[in-house]
Amino acid sequence: MNLRPFARRIRRALSRRDPLITVSISKEAILHNLRAYQKAYPAQKVAPVLKSNAYGHGLVLVAELLDTEDIAFLMVDSLYEARKLRRAGIRSPIVVMGYARPEEIAGSTLRAVAFAAVDIEQLRELSGLARRPISLHLKLDTGMHRQGILPEDLEEAVSLIAANPNLTLAGVATHLGDADNPDAAFSETQLSAWDSCVSRLEASFPDIPYIHAAATKGARFSAAHPMNVLRLGIGLYGFDTSPGNGEALRPALSLHSSIVSVRDIPPGDSVGYNATYTASRPSRIATVPVGYYEGLDRGLSNRGSVLVDGTACPLAGRISMNMCSVDITDAPEAARGSTVTLISDNPEDPNSVSGIARRIDTTPYVILAHIPEHLCRTLS
């Protein structure tokens, strides 16, 4: 009898509270996005990427949604994240794709967790330390020059893996640095190096289970090059800026709070630090307990907007560490307790993740990853 679901319900019941701020995660949206890629790329097994607290969506929460899905494995960045998933009862295979110290890899007893070998020095140390079976995904540097085994070190890497019977090559990977560029020249240069390296590795290890070069933005290259796994990161959460992207994705996250205070101010009075906002008319100003610590980017000060009971209202003055001010003059029904949507899951809203990213000239990745782990996340 599997008691894990029951234990999860008990854990959630014991931790229930009525928070001032809630991050709402749509189960339907995440599963819709997963299946959109599974349908579009049927030759690839999907490996959901859950690093950085599942791109702000909640590491364990998203893993629980995906644990019974048809996936290759779950991907995380760190041994810490892998441990957290196992302690939460997640049973899917896991690949740690970020750097882990060789001694930590050699000492790990986590079940069905593979580790990336991200450079030749790490692999040298690991080859000398491994005293128990370790599954490796050999990461190749095909031109991004951030992590990976360089092509000139590939022969040594093959020898190091072959020399220690405790090391198993479970996968080979690379990362494309310019995959969202309509001009595919740089990606094709990387993929040419990739093709050659994979061919060499398969000559020594003919049955490598997992071969993966494409993340969300590189999925379009998967049919023409050796790969059988698609690493699905930002696309899982509803965003893909790849050229020709035809997947109808649904953003999965929204951020909500409520008005906790309202005050009327006359024309000429200012709001917030450094008096950067001055009322030009009799105004009603609401305080919302969300600031840049809670993921509302300070760059939205005097530039962004939120939804108050569905009405768009501008942010007034500087966003503080734990609160912001909103001009609700044009929302006459708004009052203490009114619902405020700081981040909308509707792509058409100016305070959607994409809308905010455009407003402050950044990417959806940054907006999502800056939503702190301590905020309460609920499934909707």
Q: Is residue 248 included in any domain, yes or no? A: no
pLDDT score at 5: 63
Q: What is the CATH number of the domain that holds 178?
A: 3.20.20.10
Which pLDDT score, from 0 to 100, does residue 190 have? 95
CATH number at 332 reads: 2.40.37.10
State whether 288 and 193 are in the same domain: no
State residue 202's pLDDT score.
96
185-204 vs 154-163: helix crossing angle, rounded to 10: 30
Query: Does residue 242 fall inside a structural domain?
Result: no
Instruction: Give residue-wise pLDDT tens across range 189-242.
Output: 999 999 999 999 999 999 999 999 999 999 999 989 999 999 999 999 999 988
pLDDT tens, position by position, 57-114? 999 999 999 999 999 999 999 999 999 999 999 999 999 999 999 999 999 999 999 9
* Within a domain: 269: yes
Query: Per the domain annotation, does 213 fall within a domain?
Result: yes
pLDDT band at 370 (very low <50, low <70, confident <90, very high): very high
Total domain count for the chain? 2
Domain C-terminal end among 237, 270, 301: 237
Residue 359 in this model has a pLDDT that exceeds 70: yes
Domain shared by 232 and 257, yes or no: no
Co-location of 75 and 109 in the same domain: yes
Confidence band, pLDDT 50/70/90 cuts, at residue 18: confident
Which of 37, 80, 99, 273 is catalytic? The answer is: 273
Q: Is residue 61 located within the same domain as residue 162?
A: yes
Beta strands (DSSP E) in the chain are 22-25, 45-48, 74-76, 94-96, 113-117, 134-139, 167-173, 210-212, 229-232, 253-258, 261-265, 270-271, 277-278, 283-288, 305-308, 311-314, 324-327, 339-343, 376-379
Is 55 an annotated catalytic residue? no
Sheet with 22-25, edge to edge strand ranges: 311-314, 305-308, 339-343, 253-258, 22-25, 376-379
Give me 97's structure tokens: 């794709």
* One domain for residues 233 and 257: no
- Considering the domain boundaries, does residue 22 fall inside one? no
Q: Which whole number is the average pLDDT over 292-313? A: 97
Q: Is residue 18 part of a domain?
A: no
The last residue of one of the domains, among 237, 263, 279, is 237
Same domain? 289 vs 360? yes
Q: Could you tell me if residue 246 is inside a domain?
A: no
CA 58 distance to own-chain centroid: 9
* Banded model confidence at residue 10, pLDDT cuts 50, 70, 90: low
Q: What pLDDT is stored for residue 241 in this prediction?
A: 80
Q: Is the pLDDT of residue 265 over 90?
A: yes
Per the residue annotation, which of 37, 41, 51, 277 is the catalytic one?
51
Residue 161 lies in a domain: yes
Q: Is 51 a catalytic residue?
A: yes
The pLDDT tens digits of the residues spanning 153-178 come to 999 999 999 999 999 999 999 999 99
Residues 91, 144, single domain; the answer is yes
Question: Rounded mean pLDDT of 29-49?
Answer: 96
**pLDDT band of 246, cuts 50, 70, 90:** low
For residue 242, the model assigns a pLDDT of 82
Residues 54 and 184 in one domain: yes
189/276 same-domain check: no
d(CA 238, CA 247): 10
Domain match, 274 and 181 both: no
Instruction: Find the domain containing 40 and state its range.
Output: 27-237
Residue 13 pLDDT greater than 90, yes or no: no
Q: Which helix (H) or strand (E) holds 197?
A: helix 185-204
- Kindly state whether residues 268 and 233 are assigned to the same domain: no
98 and 205 together in one domain:
yes
The pLDDT score that the predictor gives to residue 12 is 61
Domain boundary among 237, 268, 286: 237
